Structure 1
Amino acid sequence: MNVKELAASVTDLTTLPDSYQQVRALAEDPNSSLKDFADVVSMDAAISARLLRLVNSPFYGLPSKIESVLRAINLIGTEELCNLVLASAVTGMFKSVRDEHFDLEAFWWRNVNVAMLARQLGREGKVREVERLFVAGILHDIGRLVAFQQLPTLAAEIEQAQSDASDWVRQKAVLSFSYADLGAELLAQWNMPEALVEIVASQNQPLRAMEQTRDAAILHMATRAVGWVETPDQLDEEQAGACVDEDVWEEARLEPWQLIEAIGVVHDCGPEVRSIF
């Protein structure tokens, strides 16, 4: 089964929920209002609760408590709302994955840490639309989840043999494609924005991205440095600088001290944000 067929087998079984489809349609409608968005989100109690918990978390650091969905959307913007609804939807779509070689909770915790780190690196580098980096981080390893759902024996073989979660060479040796390839194909078949698809597809070799090279470089950095989120005090500038190649640092337009700063921020707010997802 090739990557397109495998992704198609997932889209046949799983479609994005109505709540995401509706907010995305509103985002593309120039006549929509914030109240229209609030009305759609309010109809989904789980997403409403997650949205309010997230905007009131240290992740956003807002000065006062936000108690209404409309106010939350007004503060974070409709594009970030779409991203949060997408992230919320996807985290609940693969709950049935069960395998002795696959820890679903650890998988999502790592993804949320990567998402927070990518977003914070984007903020350190003054990247526009850092919310896209957050959702790319949430979804960056969804191909791995699909593999365990659809090809559990081969996925377990990769898990036992690979050096770490980013060992895309081992993935291609077994499957003929990487988890990044599979995840990007799934996102494309779900009609996700082309920029998001390219970021996920290029995360292992970011300099091969056609247009989203900087975002792909930042995501690449986040996936390689995420292990230090739990132990930021053990990271120095020399180690930080060595976590990715020099050309990736140049493309990301970041310095090692900024990675250390970002890891510290994620370490401090991580547990509360992870609990939301």
Structure 2
Amino acid sequence: MRRPFFQAPQQPPRAVPQTPREPLRRPEPSPDEYRLKLLSAVNSIPPLPSTLNQLIGMLNNEMASAGQIASVIERDSVLSGSVLKCVNSAYYGLPNRVSSIRHAVTLLGFKTVRNLALAFSMRRMLTQSQPARALYGSYSRHALGCAFFTQFLASYTRSHDPEAAFAAGLFHDVGKLLIFTTAPMAVLQIIERWEAGEESWEDLEREFLHVTHSELSAIVLEAWKLPVAIQNAARYHHDPDACPPDPEQDPEKPALSLAWLVHAADAAVRSEGMEAVSSEHRPPEGPEEAFRHLGLESAASVLLEQFREEFHGLQGVFQ
């Protein structure tokens, strides 16, 4: 058979359009699974940096001397430099420059210097963790504000050791940091519901995680071997009436538990715009109710103004 002079090219088979497959999505953990994940994160939390671990140990050791604390800080050159920068700031207003940790301890007292070292150590631990770094600014401002305001209230009411109050304020929300870095998708859901309604943050944590940041904070602080009063202040800072009596509390001032001081400080610094999580749809509640409980309603405006002035001068040192 003769072939035709021209033969049309053979058409390739038409491709059937394929419906793109959606990527497989892993199901979101259940609240119980989140709870187990968070508790496991507490159990597997990396050991504290050596310097911070030793400083926390000294919170429990009434026999710790000024020389011992100075020695611990001096062995960490970065920490020593940060503490000395703070000591020489306008906040403390010392007439002469301080050039050694031991001199700082002599002038300010070893507990004050120890707490500055705790704050700087906590700051460094946050900035060295990649997930925590994004939260560093808002979280650290809130933690430092609470630390100084709780210390401020303890001194004003003469109800607690001001240095223990500082540590209670500094570490009260460490469980929130654990939640943000371990369960970020659940946090987004919590924020969405929190902004849209009137539910409390802790109620939403219970719904989505079956555990609250306050409970996790207390568990972390127990693992770090902080005093029981500081653990309880973290556990009950959103429900201070439920807090058992502090072992070191002044029996003549039963209403002034460390949990109540942290609760008041937490409300005060949030009202000043220092929130770990903020939203224009959920403006922070003021500290008036907490101040009334502490018997400080008449002094509230003066205390807040004094805190603004003093903390503003110190905050820049921690940037």
Aligned length in residues: 263
1:243 Cα deviation from its structure 2 partner: 3.3
1:113 Cα deviation from its structure 2 partner: 1.6
State the partner residue of 2:262.
219
Which of 153, 162, 186 pairs up with 2:194?
A: 162
Which of 230, 233, 236 pairs up with 1:202?
A: 236
1:220 Cα deviation from its structure 2 partner: 0.6
- Whether contact under 8 Å (2:79, 2:120) holds in the other structure is yes
Q: Closer, same or farther in 2 for the Cα pair 1:259/1:89, shift >3 Å?
A: same
Larger of the two Rg values belongs to structure: 2
Deviation track 1:93-149 (CA, whole Å, cap 9, x = no partner) reads 23335489x643122112212222222222222233112222222212111111011
State the partner residue of 2:181.
149
- Please give the secondary structure, in 2, of the residue aligned with 1:121: helix
Q: Closer, same or farther in 2 for the Cα pair 1:123/1:99, shift >3 Å?
A: closer
- Whether contact under 8 Å (2:149, 2:307) holds in the other structure is yes
Question: Does residue 1:115 correspond to 2:147, yes or no?
Answer: yes
Deviation track 1:169-197 (CA, whole Å, cap 9, x = no partner) reads 22222212221111111111111111111
State the partner residue of 2:138.
106
Equivalent residue runs for 1:1-277 within 5 Å? 1=33, 6-24=38-56, 28=61, 30=63, 33-57=65-89, 59-60=91-92, 62=94, 64-95=96-127, 96-98=129-131, 103-163=135-195, 167-212=201-246, 214-229=257-272, 243-245=287-289, 248-249=290-291, 252=294, 254-277=295-318
State the partner residue of 2:25.
none
Deviation track 1:206-258 (CA, whole Å, cap 9, x = no partner) reads 11111235221111111112134369xxxxxxxxx96354xx54653x31242
Higher helix residue share: 1
1:64 Cα deviation from its structure 2 partner: 4.6
5+ long unaligned stretches in structure 2? 1-32, 247-255, 275-284
Structure 2 length as normaliser, TM-score?
Answer: 0.70
**2: CA distance, partners of 1:150 / 1:175:** 11
The Cα RMSD (Å) is 3.2
- Please give the secondary structure, in 1, of the residue aligned with 2:125: coil
- Whether contact under 8 Å (2:214, 2:236) holds in the other structure is yes
Q: Closer, same or farther in 2 for the Cα pair 1:103/1:166, shift >3 Å?
A: farther
- Please give the secondary structure, in 1, of the residue aligned with 2:177: helix
